[in-house]
Amino acid sequence: MKKKQTLECCPCGSALDFDACCAPYLAGQAAPSAQALMRSRYTAYVKKDTAYLLQSWHVSTRPASLDLAEDPVKWTALEIRSLSQGLPGDASGTVEFVARYKAGGRAQRLMEKSRFVFEGGRWFYVDGDIA
């Protein structure tokens, strides 16, 4: 009997299967755009993948460590609001987003305009302005 394949929607909200969306980036493939990196970093927060978050963070602003193991935040949705540059061939880009989450049983949201740079064939998160 053939085993039924189970599809897992990607947490980033793209409506694609996780394996066809963010999984390759979390596994080491370079994200093709700032938006793809933003989506994959959100997915990494959902999955508590600190190694990916640190490796995709620009060395100039990267924290020494990141511990999400005991983080009580449950990320629930990502909405991309706007993009500026950040496409193949660009040196930098910005992604404005709203990330919804629950903490302490209360629904909350994080609004940020994130900055990204393209160096050495890869996109990196630099920093962001929280609204």
9 lies in some domain: no
Which residue range forms the structural domain that includes residue 91? 18-130
8 lies in some domain: no
66 lies in some domain: yes
pLDDT (tens digit per residue) in 72-102: 899 999 999 999 999 999 999 999 999 999 9
90 lies in some domain: yes
Report pTM: 0.92
92 lies in some domain: yes
Report the C-alpha gap between 4 and 15 in whole angstroms. 20
89 lies in some domain: yes
6 lies in some domain: no
Among the listed residues 129, 117, 112, the one whose alpha carbon sits nearest the alpha carbon of residue 59: 117
User: What total of structural domains would you count in the chain?
Assistant: 1
7 lies in some domain: no
Q: What is the DSSP letter of 6?
A: P
CATH number at residue 64: 3.10.450.50
Three-class SS state of 29: coil
Those residues whose C-beta lies under 8 Å from the C-beta of residue 107, and which sit 6 or more positions away, are 76, 100, 101
Among the residue ranges 6-10, 36-40, 53-57, 110-114, the one predicted with the least confidence is 6-10
Q: Could you write out the DSSP letters of every residue in 59-104? A: TTT--S----TT---EEEEEEEEEEEE-STT-SEEEEEEEEEEEET
